[in-house]
Amino acid sequence: MNVLSNDEINHIRGSVNIVDVIGEYLPLTQKGKNFFGVCPFHDDHSPSMSVSSEKQIYTCFSCGATGNVFKFIMDYEHISFPEALKKVADKAGIDIAIGDFKKNTNTRFQSLYDIYEVAVKFYQNNINTKEGKEAKEYLRGRDITDDIIREFGIGLSIKNREMLTKLLLGKEFAHADLLKSGLVVKNEYGYQDIYYNRIMFPLWDPSGKVVGFSGRVYHGEKEFKYINTKETDIFKKGELLYNYHRAKEEARMKQSVIIMEGFMDVIRAYTVGVKNVIATMGTAVTKEQAGMIKKMAKEVILCFDGDRAGAKATLACSNELLEMGVIPKIVRLEKDLDPDEYIKKYGKEKFLAKLENPISVMDFKLNYLKQDKDLSSTVDMANYVNTVIQELAKIDDEVMREISLKKISQESNLDLDFLKARLNNLKEKQEPIKEVPRVLEVNERPSKYQKAEAGLLYYMLRYPEVIKMYQKKITYMPTDRYRYLAREINYFYKNYQSIDMADFITFIGEDQELLKTLGEINRLNLKEEYKIDEINDYINVILEYNIKVETARLKEQMKRTSDPFEKANIAKQIVGLKMRRDESD
Protein backbone atom coordinates (compact mmCIF):
# COMPACT_ATOMS: atom_id res chain seq x y z
CA MET A 1 0.00 0.00 0.00
CA ASN A 2 1.02 3.64 -0.25
CA VAL A 3 1.95 5.15 3.08
CA LEU A 4 -1.12 6.89 4.50
CA SER A 5 -1.02 10.65 4.80
CA ASN A 6 -1.64 12.39 8.13
CA ASP A 7 -5.00 13.58 6.82
CA GLU A 8 -6.03 9.99 6.05
CA ILE A 9 -4.83 8.81 9.48
CA ASN A 10 -6.72 11.63 11.18
CA HIS A 11 -9.83 10.76 9.20
CA ILE A 12 -9.63 7.18 10.51
CA ARG A 13 -9.18 8.47 14.06
CA GLY A 14 -12.14 10.84 13.68
CA SER A 15 -14.38 8.03 12.40
CA VAL A 16 -14.68 6.45 15.86
CA ASN A 17 -15.49 7.83 19.31
CA ILE A 18 -12.69 7.21 21.79
CA VAL A 19 -15.26 6.72 24.58
CA ASP A 20 -16.86 3.82 22.69
CA VAL A 21 -13.48 2.22 21.92
CA ILE A 22 -12.01 2.48 25.43
CA GLY A 23 -15.41 1.35 26.78
CA GLU A 24 -14.83 -1.98 25.00
CA TYR A 25 -11.70 -2.50 27.11
CA LEU A 26 -12.76 -1.21 30.54
CA PRO A 27 -15.91 0.13 32.27
CA LEU A 28 -16.40 3.90 32.02
CA THR A 29 -18.73 6.08 34.08
CA GLN A 30 -19.85 9.53 32.95
CA LYS A 31 -19.19 12.44 35.30
CA GLY A 32 -20.09 15.75 33.75
CA LYS A 33 -18.74 16.09 30.22
CA ASN A 34 -16.10 13.38 30.62
CA PHE A 35 -16.02 9.64 31.31
CA PHE A 36 -13.89 8.03 34.02
CA GLY A 37 -12.43 4.56 34.49
CA VAL A 38 -9.68 2.72 36.35
CA CYS A 39 -6.39 3.42 34.57
CA PRO A 40 -4.90 0.20 33.10
CA PHE A 41 -1.41 1.70 32.86
CA HIS A 42 -0.59 1.70 36.58
CA ASP A 43 -1.82 -0.06 39.71
CA ASP A 44 -4.97 2.03 39.99
CA HIS A 45 -7.60 1.32 42.65
CA SER A 46 -9.98 4.19 41.95
CA PRO A 47 -11.06 5.70 38.61
CA SER A 48 -8.33 8.20 37.77
CA MET A 49 -8.45 8.05 33.96
CA SER A 50 -10.55 10.71 32.24
CA VAL A 51 -11.78 10.14 28.67
CA SER A 52 -13.00 13.15 26.74
CA SER A 53 -15.50 12.67 23.94
CA GLU A 54 -15.09 16.33 23.02
CA LYS A 55 -11.28 16.25 22.67
CA GLN A 56 -11.05 12.53 21.77
CA ILE A 57 -8.21 11.95 24.25
CA TYR A 58 -7.68 10.21 27.59
CA THR A 59 -5.58 11.43 30.51
CA CYS A 60 -4.77 9.71 33.80
CA PHE A 61 -4.61 12.26 36.62
CA SER A 62 -2.45 9.90 38.67
CA CYS A 63 0.25 8.40 36.42
CA GLY A 64 0.03 10.96 33.59
CA ALA A 65 -0.73 8.50 30.78
CA THR A 66 -2.28 10.43 27.91
CA GLY A 67 -3.07 9.86 24.27
CA ASN A 68 -5.68 9.37 21.58
CA VAL A 69 -7.46 6.19 20.47
CA PHE A 70 -4.37 4.88 18.63
CA LYS A 71 -2.10 5.41 21.63
CA PHE A 72 -4.56 3.67 23.98
CA ILE A 73 -4.82 0.55 21.82
CA MET A 74 -1.04 0.45 21.27
CA ASP A 75 -0.28 0.61 24.99
CA TYR A 76 -3.18 -1.60 26.11
CA GLU A 77 -2.56 -4.39 23.61
CA HIS A 78 1.22 -3.92 23.28
CA ILE A 79 1.02 -3.54 19.51
CA SER A 80 2.59 -1.24 16.92
CA PHE A 81 1.03 1.92 15.50
CA PRO A 82 0.16 0.29 12.14
CA GLU A 83 -1.65 -2.52 13.97
CA ALA A 84 -3.57 -0.04 16.15
CA LEU A 85 -4.41 1.99 13.03
CA LYS A 86 -5.79 -1.16 11.36
CA LYS A 87 -7.91 -2.00 14.41
CA VAL A 88 -9.43 1.49 14.49
CA ALA A 89 -10.00 1.42 10.73
CA ASP A 90 -11.79 -1.94 11.06
CA LYS A 91 -14.03 -0.51 13.79
CA ALA A 92 -14.84 2.43 11.50
CA GLY A 93 -15.48 0.15 8.50
CA ILE A 94 -12.55 1.62 6.57
CA ASP A 95 -10.54 -0.88 4.52
CA ILE A 96 -6.75 -0.53 4.78
CA ALA A 97 -3.80 -2.93 4.58
CA ILE A 98 -0.81 -2.58 6.86
CA GLY A 99 1.73 -5.05 5.43
CA ASP A 100 3.88 -2.47 3.67
CA PHE A 101 3.31 0.06 6.44
CA LYS A 102 4.76 -2.42 8.94
CA LYS A 103 7.86 -3.03 6.87
CA ASN A 104 8.54 0.69 6.55
CA THR A 105 8.29 1.25 10.29
CA ASN A 106 11.80 1.90 11.56
CA THR A 107 12.95 1.47 15.13
CA ARG A 108 16.09 2.16 17.09
CA PHE A 109 16.81 -1.59 17.03
CA GLN A 110 15.69 -2.31 13.49
CA SER A 111 18.89 -4.20 12.66
CA LEU A 112 18.19 -6.68 15.49
CA TYR A 113 14.64 -7.27 14.26
CA ASP A 114 15.99 -7.76 10.74
CA ILE A 115 18.59 -10.27 11.98
CA TYR A 116 15.84 -12.30 13.65
CA GLU A 117 13.70 -12.17 10.54
CA VAL A 118 16.57 -13.74 8.56
CA ALA A 119 17.31 -16.26 11.35
CA VAL A 120 13.75 -17.54 11.68
CA LYS A 121 13.49 -18.13 7.92
CA PHE A 122 16.88 -19.85 7.96
CA TYR A 123 15.87 -22.24 10.76
CA GLN A 124 12.47 -22.93 9.17
CA ASN A 125 14.11 -23.77 5.89
CA ASN A 126 16.56 -26.13 7.61
CA ILE A 127 13.84 -28.31 9.11
CA ASN A 128 12.40 -28.92 5.65
CA THR A 129 15.71 -30.14 4.20
CA LYS A 130 17.33 -33.58 4.34
CA GLU A 131 19.20 -32.50 7.48
CA GLY A 132 15.87 -31.76 9.16
CA LYS A 133 14.40 -35.23 8.64
CA GLU A 134 15.41 -36.58 12.04
CA ALA A 135 14.15 -33.46 13.86
CA LYS A 136 10.79 -33.73 12.08
CA GLU A 137 10.49 -37.39 13.04
CA TYR A 138 11.18 -36.43 16.66
CA LEU A 139 8.42 -33.77 16.56
CA ARG A 140 5.94 -36.15 14.91
CA GLY A 141 6.74 -38.64 17.66
CA ARG A 142 5.55 -35.96 20.09
CA ASP A 143 2.37 -35.48 17.99
CA ILE A 144 3.55 -32.20 16.48
CA THR A 145 2.24 -32.19 12.91
CA ASP A 146 3.59 -30.31 9.90
CA ASP A 147 0.70 -27.84 10.25
CA ILE A 148 1.71 -27.04 13.85
CA ILE A 149 5.37 -26.78 12.81
CA ARG A 150 4.34 -24.14 10.25
CA GLU A 151 1.89 -22.38 12.60
CA PHE A 152 4.48 -21.90 15.33
CA GLY A 153 7.45 -21.34 13.02
CA ILE A 154 9.42 -24.26 14.46
CA GLY A 155 12.82 -24.67 12.82
CA LEU A 156 16.22 -26.30 13.17
CA SER A 157 19.78 -25.15 13.79
CA ILE A 158 22.05 -27.63 12.06
CA LYS A 159 25.40 -29.04 13.26
CA ASN A 160 27.48 -26.55 11.25
CA ARG A 161 28.23 -23.66 13.65
CA GLU A 162 28.98 -21.06 11.00
CA MET A 163 26.01 -21.25 8.61
CA LEU A 164 23.80 -18.57 10.16
CA THR A 165 26.78 -16.29 10.90
CA LYS A 166 27.96 -16.47 7.28
CA LEU A 167 24.44 -15.84 6.01
CA LEU A 168 24.04 -12.74 8.20
CA LEU A 169 27.48 -11.37 7.32
CA GLY A 170 26.67 -11.95 3.66
CA LYS A 171 23.66 -9.68 4.13
CA GLU A 172 26.06 -7.02 5.47
CA PHE A 173 24.91 -6.97 9.09
CA ALA A 174 27.56 -5.46 11.37
CA HIS A 175 29.60 -7.79 13.60
CA ALA A 176 28.57 -5.70 16.62
CA ASP A 177 24.86 -6.22 15.85
CA LEU A 178 25.37 -9.97 15.42
CA LEU A 179 26.86 -10.14 18.92
CA LYS A 180 24.08 -7.93 20.34
CA SER A 181 21.45 -10.22 18.83
CA GLY A 182 22.34 -13.16 21.07
CA LEU A 183 22.57 -15.47 18.03
CA VAL A 184 26.31 -15.18 17.41
CA VAL A 185 29.30 -15.51 19.73
CA LYS A 186 32.93 -14.50 19.26
CA ASN A 187 35.44 -17.11 20.50
CA GLU A 188 38.89 -18.49 19.65
CA TYR A 189 37.48 -19.79 16.34
CA GLY A 190 36.11 -16.39 15.31
CA TYR A 191 32.38 -15.61 14.95
CA GLN A 192 30.11 -18.65 15.35
CA ASP A 193 26.44 -19.53 15.79
CA ILE A 194 25.30 -19.92 19.38
CA TYR A 195 22.62 -22.44 18.40
CA TYR A 196 23.52 -25.65 16.64
CA ASN A 197 21.88 -29.07 16.36
CA ARG A 198 18.72 -27.98 18.18
CA ILE A 199 15.04 -27.69 17.34
CA MET A 200 14.28 -23.97 17.36
CA PHE A 201 11.12 -22.48 18.85
CA PRO A 202 10.68 -18.77 18.02
CA LEU A 203 9.73 -16.36 20.82
CA TRP A 204 7.67 -13.31 19.89
CA ASP A 205 7.16 -9.85 21.33
CA PRO A 206 3.57 -8.63 21.91
CA SER A 207 3.28 -7.30 18.36
CA GLY A 208 4.30 -10.66 16.85
CA LYS A 209 7.91 -9.95 15.91
CA VAL A 210 10.42 -12.75 16.57
CA VAL A 211 12.86 -11.48 19.22
CA GLY A 212 14.36 -14.68 20.61
CA PHE A 213 14.53 -18.47 20.44
CA SER A 214 14.40 -21.48 22.67
CA GLY A 215 16.55 -24.28 21.26
CA ARG A 216 15.77 -27.89 22.30
CA VAL A 217 17.98 -30.97 22.03
CA TYR A 218 16.33 -33.94 20.32
CA HIS A 219 18.93 -36.74 20.49
CA GLY A 220 18.69 -37.30 24.23
CA GLU A 221 21.89 -35.32 24.87
CA LYS A 222 23.02 -34.80 28.44
CA GLU A 223 23.48 -31.04 28.00
CA PHE A 224 20.80 -28.46 28.82
CA LYS A 225 17.45 -29.56 27.38
CA TYR A 226 16.55 -25.97 26.41
CA ILE A 227 18.76 -22.94 25.76
CA ASN A 228 16.98 -19.59 25.60
CA THR A 229 18.29 -16.46 23.92
CA LYS A 230 20.07 -14.14 26.36
CA GLU A 231 18.38 -10.85 27.18
CA THR A 232 18.97 -8.23 24.47
CA ASP A 233 17.71 -4.78 23.61
CA ILE A 234 14.60 -6.37 22.05
CA PHE A 235 14.24 -9.51 24.21
CA LYS A 236 13.29 -8.97 27.85
CA LYS A 237 11.96 -12.28 29.13
CA GLY A 238 10.08 -10.72 32.04
CA GLU A 239 8.14 -8.47 29.66
CA LEU A 240 6.96 -11.18 27.24
CA LEU A 241 4.33 -13.90 27.30
CA TYR A 242 4.59 -16.79 24.88
CA ASN A 243 1.86 -16.78 22.21
CA TYR A 244 0.44 -13.45 23.43
CA HIS A 245 0.18 -12.02 19.91
CA ARG A 246 -1.96 -14.98 18.76
CA ALA A 247 -4.02 -15.41 21.91
CA LYS A 248 -5.06 -11.80 22.59
CA GLU A 249 -7.95 -11.68 20.10
CA GLU A 250 -9.24 -15.13 21.06
CA ALA A 251 -9.03 -14.18 24.75
CA ARG A 252 -10.93 -10.97 24.11
CA MET A 253 -13.69 -12.79 22.26
CA LYS A 254 -14.02 -15.51 24.90
CA GLN A 255 -13.37 -13.08 27.79
CA SER A 256 -11.07 -15.75 29.19
CA VAL A 257 -7.33 -16.41 29.07
CA ILE A 258 -5.49 -19.56 30.17
CA ILE A 259 -1.97 -19.26 31.56
CA MET A 260 0.48 -22.16 31.34
CA GLU A 261 4.17 -22.56 32.16
CA GLY A 262 5.81 -23.90 28.98
CA PHE A 263 5.46 -23.28 25.27
CA MET A 264 5.01 -27.01 24.56
CA ASP A 265 1.91 -26.85 26.77
CA VAL A 266 0.58 -23.95 24.70
CA ILE A 267 1.32 -25.72 21.43
CA ARG A 268 -0.43 -28.87 22.65
CA ALA A 269 -3.49 -26.88 23.78
CA TYR A 270 -3.56 -25.28 20.34
CA THR A 271 -3.77 -28.70 18.68
CA VAL A 272 -7.05 -29.40 20.51
CA GLY A 273 -8.57 -26.01 19.68
CA VAL A 274 -7.71 -24.09 22.87
CA LYS A 275 -6.32 -20.87 21.39
CA ASN A 276 -6.81 -18.34 24.20
CA VAL A 277 -3.69 -19.65 25.88
CA ILE A 278 -0.30 -18.12 26.74
CA ALA A 279 2.75 -19.21 28.74
CA THR A 280 5.12 -17.59 31.23
CA MET A 281 7.98 -19.70 29.81
CA GLY A 282 8.76 -21.28 33.16
CA THR A 283 9.74 -18.12 35.05
CA ALA A 284 8.12 -16.37 38.00
CA VAL A 285 5.46 -13.96 36.78
CA THR A 286 6.62 -10.35 36.77
CA LYS A 287 4.51 -7.24 37.37
CA GLU A 288 4.82 -6.40 33.67
CA GLN A 289 3.47 -9.81 32.66
CA ALA A 290 0.68 -9.63 35.26
CA GLY A 291 -0.29 -6.23 33.86
CA MET A 292 -0.50 -7.67 30.34
CA ILE A 293 -2.59 -10.61 31.57
CA LYS A 294 -4.96 -8.25 33.38
CA LYS A 295 -5.73 -6.47 30.12
CA MET A 296 -6.44 -9.64 28.13
CA ALA A 297 -9.72 -10.84 29.63
CA LYS A 298 -11.96 -10.73 32.69
CA GLU A 299 -11.48 -14.43 33.48
CA VAL A 300 -7.94 -15.67 34.11
CA ILE A 301 -7.31 -19.41 34.56
CA LEU A 302 -3.96 -20.76 35.75
CA CYS A 303 -3.19 -24.24 34.45
CA PHE A 304 0.37 -25.00 35.53
CA ASP A 305 2.16 -28.33 35.93
CA GLY A 306 0.48 -30.77 38.31
CA ASP A 307 3.55 -31.41 40.47
CA ARG A 308 4.62 -29.58 43.66
CA ALA A 309 6.76 -27.14 41.69
CA GLY A 310 3.71 -26.31 39.57
CA ALA A 311 1.62 -25.75 42.70
CA LYS A 312 4.27 -23.40 44.07
CA ALA A 313 4.37 -21.50 40.77
CA THR A 314 0.56 -21.30 40.80
CA LEU A 315 0.64 -19.74 44.27
CA ALA A 316 3.28 -17.18 43.25
CA CYS A 317 1.50 -16.26 40.01
CA SER A 318 -1.90 -15.96 41.70
CA ASN A 319 -0.43 -13.60 44.31
CA GLU A 320 1.11 -11.38 41.61
CA LEU A 321 -2.24 -11.24 39.83
CA LEU A 322 -4.12 -10.51 43.06
CA GLU A 323 -1.85 -7.51 43.62
CA MET A 324 -3.00 -6.23 40.22
CA GLY A 325 -6.66 -6.68 41.21
CA VAL A 326 -7.15 -9.92 39.22
CA ILE A 327 -8.71 -12.90 41.02
CA PRO A 328 -7.66 -15.97 38.99
CA LYS A 329 -9.26 -19.40 38.86
CA ILE A 330 -7.15 -22.53 39.08
CA VAL A 331 -6.95 -25.84 37.21
CA ARG A 332 -4.86 -28.56 38.88
CA LEU A 333 -3.82 -31.63 36.89
CA GLU A 334 -3.51 -34.97 38.65
CA LYS A 335 -0.58 -37.40 38.64
CA ASP A 336 1.98 -34.58 38.41
CA LEU A 337 1.28 -34.16 34.69
CA ASP A 338 1.88 -30.96 32.75
CA PRO A 339 -0.82 -29.85 30.23
CA ASP A 340 1.11 -31.33 27.28
CA GLU A 341 1.30 -34.74 28.98
CA TYR A 342 -2.27 -34.53 30.29
CA ILE A 343 -3.80 -33.87 26.87
CA LYS A 344 -1.79 -36.68 25.25
CA LYS A 345 -2.73 -39.12 28.06
CA TYR A 346 -6.41 -38.26 28.61
CA GLY A 347 -7.44 -36.48 25.42
CA LYS A 348 -9.18 -33.28 24.44
CA GLU A 349 -12.57 -33.78 26.11
CA LYS A 350 -11.22 -34.49 29.57
CA PHE A 351 -8.88 -31.49 29.34
CA LEU A 352 -11.71 -29.19 28.21
CA ALA A 353 -13.83 -30.45 31.14
CA LYS A 354 -10.99 -29.40 33.46
CA LEU A 355 -10.92 -25.90 31.95
CA GLU A 356 -14.70 -25.58 32.28
CA ASN A 357 -14.60 -26.44 35.99
CA PRO A 358 -11.73 -24.51 37.59
CA ILE A 359 -11.57 -24.07 41.36
CA SER A 360 -11.41 -20.73 43.14
CA VAL A 361 -8.03 -19.32 44.07
CA MET A 362 -8.89 -19.64 47.77
CA ASP A 363 -9.90 -23.29 47.45
CA PHE A 364 -6.53 -23.88 45.82
CA LYS A 365 -4.73 -22.00 48.58
CA LEU A 366 -6.60 -23.86 51.34
CA ASN A 367 -5.51 -27.17 49.83
CA TYR A 368 -1.96 -25.95 49.17
CA LEU A 369 -1.47 -24.58 52.68
CA LYS A 370 -2.58 -27.87 54.28
CA GLN A 371 0.26 -29.75 52.62
CA ASP A 372 2.68 -31.31 55.11
CA LYS A 373 0.63 -30.05 58.07
CA ASP A 374 -0.91 -32.12 60.83
CA LEU A 375 -4.12 -30.23 61.56
CA SER A 376 -4.61 -32.21 64.76
CA SER A 377 -1.53 -30.37 66.03
CA THR A 378 -2.31 -27.05 67.75
CA VAL A 379 0.86 -25.46 66.34
CA ASP A 380 0.21 -26.60 62.76
CA MET A 381 -3.45 -25.55 62.96
CA ALA A 382 -2.48 -22.09 64.27
CA ASN A 383 0.10 -21.66 61.50
CA TYR A 384 -2.44 -22.81 58.91
CA VAL A 385 -5.16 -20.41 60.11
CA ASN A 386 -2.79 -17.44 60.35
CA THR A 387 -1.42 -18.09 56.86
CA VAL A 388 -4.92 -18.43 55.36
CA ILE A 389 -5.94 -15.10 56.92
CA GLN A 390 -2.86 -13.46 55.40
CA GLU A 391 -3.84 -14.84 51.99
CA LEU A 392 -7.45 -13.67 52.40
CA ALA A 393 -6.19 -10.14 53.09
CA LYS A 394 -4.94 -10.07 49.47
CA ILE A 395 -8.45 -10.65 48.07
CA ASP A 396 -11.08 -7.92 47.66
CA ASP A 397 -13.96 -10.29 46.83
CA GLU A 398 -16.16 -10.15 49.96
CA VAL A 399 -18.17 -13.26 49.02
CA MET A 400 -15.01 -15.34 48.56
CA ARG A 401 -13.63 -14.05 51.88
CA GLU A 402 -16.87 -14.93 53.70
CA ILE A 403 -17.02 -18.45 52.25
CA SER A 404 -13.35 -19.09 53.03
CA LEU A 405 -13.68 -17.81 56.60
CA LYS A 406 -16.61 -20.17 57.19
CA LYS A 407 -14.53 -23.09 55.88
CA ILE A 408 -11.57 -22.42 58.17
CA SER A 409 -13.98 -21.76 61.06
CA GLN A 410 -15.37 -25.27 60.60
CA GLU A 411 -11.92 -26.80 60.17
CA SER A 412 -10.41 -25.07 63.20
CA ASN A 413 -13.49 -24.79 65.46
CA LEU A 414 -12.62 -21.11 65.88
CA ASP A 415 -15.41 -18.55 66.17
CA LEU A 416 -16.29 -16.90 62.83
CA ASP A 417 -16.42 -13.41 64.38
CA PHE A 418 -12.95 -13.94 65.86
CA LEU A 419 -11.57 -14.85 62.42
CA LYS A 420 -13.26 -11.82 60.83
CA ALA A 421 -11.76 -9.54 63.46
CA ARG A 422 -8.29 -10.99 62.80
CA LEU A 423 -8.74 -10.43 59.07
CA ASN A 424 -9.98 -6.85 59.53
CA ASN A 425 -7.05 -5.99 61.81
CA LEU A 426 -4.59 -7.37 59.28
CA LYS A 427 -6.22 -5.49 56.38
CA GLU A 428 -6.08 -2.21 58.31
CA LYS A 429 -2.33 -2.66 58.86
CA GLN A 430 -1.83 -3.42 55.17
CA GLU A 431 -3.99 -0.53 53.88
CA PRO A 432 -1.93 1.14 51.15
CA ILE A 433 -1.06 4.81 51.36
CA LYS A 434 -3.28 6.69 48.94
CA GLU A 435 -1.40 7.73 45.85
CA VAL A 436 -1.04 11.50 45.49
CA PRO A 437 -1.07 12.76 41.92
CA ARG A 438 1.89 14.88 40.94
CA VAL A 439 1.65 17.76 38.53
CA LEU A 440 5.34 18.20 37.72
CA GLU A 441 7.79 15.34 37.81
CA VAL A 442 10.68 17.31 39.25
CA ASN A 443 12.30 17.10 42.67
CA GLU A 444 11.88 20.75 43.58
CA ARG A 445 8.69 22.77 43.70
CA PRO A 446 7.88 24.31 40.32
CA SER A 447 9.00 27.89 40.05
CA LYS A 448 6.63 30.67 39.00
CA TYR A 449 8.31 30.53 35.59
CA GLN A 450 7.59 26.81 35.16
CA LYS A 451 3.97 27.39 36.24
CA ALA A 452 3.64 30.13 33.66
CA GLU A 453 5.14 27.95 30.92
CA ALA A 454 2.87 25.02 31.81
CA GLY A 455 -0.22 27.24 31.93
CA LEU A 456 0.56 28.81 28.58
CA LEU A 457 1.14 25.37 26.99
CA TYR A 458 -2.18 24.16 28.43
CA TYR A 459 -4.05 26.83 26.46
CA MET A 460 -1.80 26.61 23.39
CA LEU A 461 -2.93 22.98 23.10
CA ARG A 462 -6.54 24.16 23.01
CA TYR A 463 -6.71 27.56 21.29
CA PRO A 464 -5.02 28.72 18.03
CA GLU A 465 -5.15 32.35 19.14
CA VAL A 466 -2.96 31.53 22.16
CA ILE A 467 -0.41 29.94 19.83
CA LYS A 468 -0.39 33.20 17.82
CA MET A 469 0.19 35.21 21.00
CA TYR A 470 3.12 32.94 21.88
CA GLN A 471 4.58 33.31 18.38
CA LYS A 472 4.27 37.09 18.49
CA LYS A 473 5.54 37.78 22.02
CA ILE A 474 7.79 34.93 23.21
CA THR A 475 8.94 32.16 20.83
CA TYR A 476 11.19 30.75 23.57
CA MET A 477 10.38 28.68 26.68
CA PRO A 478 13.06 28.57 29.42
CA THR A 479 12.50 24.91 30.40
CA ASP A 480 13.86 22.33 27.94
CA ARG A 481 10.89 19.93 27.92
CA TYR A 482 8.37 22.80 27.63
CA ARG A 483 10.39 24.41 24.84
CA TYR A 484 10.38 21.08 22.97
CA LEU A 485 6.59 20.77 23.30
CA ALA A 486 6.01 24.43 22.30
CA ARG A 487 8.16 23.94 19.21
CA GLU A 488 6.11 20.90 18.12
CA ILE A 489 2.82 22.73 18.75
CA ASN A 490 4.06 25.60 16.56
CA TYR A 491 5.16 23.22 13.84
CA PHE A 492 1.80 21.41 13.90
CA TYR A 493 -0.10 24.71 13.73
CA LYS A 494 2.09 25.95 10.87
CA ASN A 495 1.23 22.82 8.87
CA TYR A 496 -2.49 22.51 9.66
CA GLN A 497 -3.53 26.04 10.69
CA SER A 498 -5.48 24.54 13.58
CA ILE A 499 -4.85 22.68 16.83
CA ASP A 500 -6.62 19.44 17.62
CA MET A 501 -5.30 17.51 20.62
CA ALA A 502 -6.08 14.02 19.29
CA ASP A 503 -4.52 14.75 15.89
CA PHE A 504 -1.51 16.38 17.56
CA ILE A 505 -0.92 13.16 19.54
CA THR A 506 -0.86 11.21 16.27
CA PHE A 507 1.51 13.84 14.86
CA ILE A 508 4.10 13.42 17.65
CA GLY A 509 3.91 9.63 17.30
CA GLU A 510 5.85 7.54 19.81
CA ASP A 511 8.06 10.33 21.18
CA GLN A 512 7.88 9.27 24.84
CA GLU A 513 9.47 12.49 26.13
CA LEU A 514 6.83 14.61 24.41
CA LEU A 515 3.99 12.34 25.49
CA LYS A 516 5.17 12.48 29.09
CA THR A 517 5.26 16.28 29.01
CA LEU A 518 1.88 16.38 27.30
CA GLY A 519 0.42 14.18 30.04
CA GLU A 520 1.90 16.50 32.66
CA ILE A 521 0.26 19.53 31.01
CA ASN A 522 -3.11 17.81 30.58
CA ARG A 523 -3.20 16.99 34.30
CA LEU A 524 -3.16 20.67 35.25
CA ASN A 525 -6.30 21.63 37.12
CA LEU A 526 -7.02 24.73 35.02
CA LYS A 527 -10.32 26.08 33.75
CA GLU A 528 -11.20 25.04 30.23
CA GLU A 529 -11.95 28.61 29.12
CA TYR A 530 -9.14 31.14 29.36
CA LYS A 531 -9.14 34.87 30.13
CA ILE A 532 -6.90 37.14 28.11
CA ASP A 533 -5.43 38.63 31.29
CA GLU A 534 -4.30 35.14 32.39
CA ILE A 535 -2.50 34.54 29.10
CA ASN A 536 -0.82 37.94 29.29
CA ASP A 537 0.29 37.16 32.85
CA TYR A 538 1.86 33.89 31.71
CA ILE A 539 3.60 35.66 28.83
CA ASN A 540 4.91 38.48 31.03
CA VAL A 541 6.34 36.06 33.60
CA ILE A 542 8.14 34.11 30.86
CA LEU A 543 9.38 37.36 29.28
CA GLU A 544 10.64 38.47 32.67
CA TYR A 545 12.70 35.29 32.95
CA ASN A 546 14.05 35.51 29.40
CA ILE A 547 15.01 39.17 29.85
CA LYS A 548 16.67 38.41 33.19
CA VAL A 549 18.74 35.60 31.68
CA GLU A 550 19.68 37.64 28.61
CA THR A 551 20.62 40.65 30.76
CA ALA A 552 22.89 38.47 32.91
CA ARG A 553 24.50 37.06 29.77
CA LEU A 554 25.15 40.54 28.34
CA LYS A 555 26.62 41.80 31.63
CA GLU A 556 28.98 38.83 31.68
CA GLN A 557 29.95 39.57 28.08
CA MET A 558 30.59 43.21 29.00
CA LYS A 559 33.00 42.12 31.75
CA ARG A 560 35.02 40.09 29.27
CA THR A 561 35.55 42.84 26.68
CA SER A 562 37.87 45.85 26.83
CA ASP A 563 36.59 47.40 23.58
CA PRO A 564 34.72 50.63 24.53
CA PHE A 565 32.54 50.51 21.39
CA GLU A 566 31.48 46.93 22.13
CA LYS A 567 30.80 47.89 25.78
CA ALA A 568 28.59 50.75 24.61
CA ASN A 569 26.71 48.43 22.24
CA ILE A 570 26.12 45.89 25.01
CA ALA A 571 24.98 48.64 27.40
CA LYS A 572 22.50 49.80 24.75
CA GLN A 573 21.11 46.26 24.47
CA ILE A 574 20.75 46.04 28.27
CA VAL A 575 18.84 49.35 28.35
CA GLY A 576 16.59 48.05 25.58
CA LEU A 577 15.85 44.89 27.56
CA LYS A 578 15.06 46.99 30.66
CA MET A 579 12.64 49.14 28.64
CA ARG A 580 11.02 46.01 27.23
CA ARG A 581 10.59 44.59 30.73
CA ASP A 582 9.07 47.90 31.97
CA GLU A 583 6.62 47.90 29.05
CA SER A 584 5.47 44.38 29.93
CA ASP A 585 4.82 45.27 33.62
Per-residue pLDDT of the chain in tens (585 residues, 90 and over written 9): 446 777 888 899 999 999 999 998 888 999 988 999 999 888 777 889 999 999 999 999 888 899 999 999 988 888 888 889 999 999 999 988 765 455 444 456 889 999 999 999 999 999 999 999 999 999 999 999 999 999 999 999 998 999 999 999 999 999 999 999 999 999 998 999 999 999 999 999 988 899 999 999 998 776 778 899 999 999 988 889 999 999 988 998 898 999 999 999 999 999 999 999 999 976 788 888 988 898 888 899 999 999 999 999 999 999 999 988 889 999 999 999 999 999 999 999 999 999 999 999 999 999 999 888 888 888 989 998 999 898 888 888 888 889 999 999 998 899 999 998 888 888 776 654 343 333 334 344 568 888 999 999 999 999 999 999 988 888 778 888 898 899 899 888 988 888 998 999 988 877 788 888 998 998 887 888 889 999 999 988 888 887 777 777 777 777 777 777 777 777 777 777 666 655 555
The closest of 255, 280, 285, 254 to 266, measured between CA atoms, is 280
Where residue 469 falls (left for φ over 0; alpha for ψ -120 to 50; beta otherwise) is alpha
**Residue 366 within a domain:** no
165 plus 217 within the same structural domain = yes
410 and 314 share one domain: no
Contacts of 250 (CB under 8 A, 6+ apart): 275, 276
Q: Does a structural domain hold residue 437?
A: no
Cβ partners under 8 Å of residue 299, min gap 6: 255, 256, 257, 329
Residues 251, 229 within the same domain: no
Q: Which of 104, 128, 148 is the last residue of a domain?
A: 104
- Which residues 6+ apart lie within 8 Å of 306 measured at CB? 332, 333, 334, 335, 336, 337, 338, 342
Structurally, how many domains does the chain consist of?
A: 5
Clarify whether residues 486 and 395 are in a common domain.
Answer: no
Look up the pTM and report it: 0.68
Does residue 443 sit within a domain?
no
Phi, psi (degrees; rounded to nearest 5) at 61 = -80, 5
Same domain, 91 and 116: no
Query: Is the same domain home to 397 and 475?
Result: no
Assigned domain for 465 exists: yes
Residue 361 lies in a domain: no
Identify whether residues 506 and 389 lie together within a single domain. Answer: no
Query: Is residue 454 located within the same domain as residue 580?
Result: yes
Classify residue 364: in a domain, yes or no. Answer: no
Looking at the fold, whether 456 and 576 belong to one and the same domain comes out as: yes
Q: Rounded distance, CA 543 to CA 540, Å?
A: 5
**Residue 464 domain-assigned (yes or no):** yes
Same domain, 511 and 459: yes
Any idea what the CATH number is for the domain that residue 253 is in? 3.40.1360.10
Please give the residue range of the domain that contains residue 402.
372-430
**Beta-bridge mates of residue 318:** none
Identify whether 530 is part of a domain: yes
Residue 340 to residue 362: CA distance in whole angstroms = 26
> 204 with 251, same domain?
no
Same domain for 13 and 125, yes or no, is no
**What CATH number is associated with residue 141?**
3.90.980.10
Alpha-carbon span 120 to 436, nearest angstrom: 47
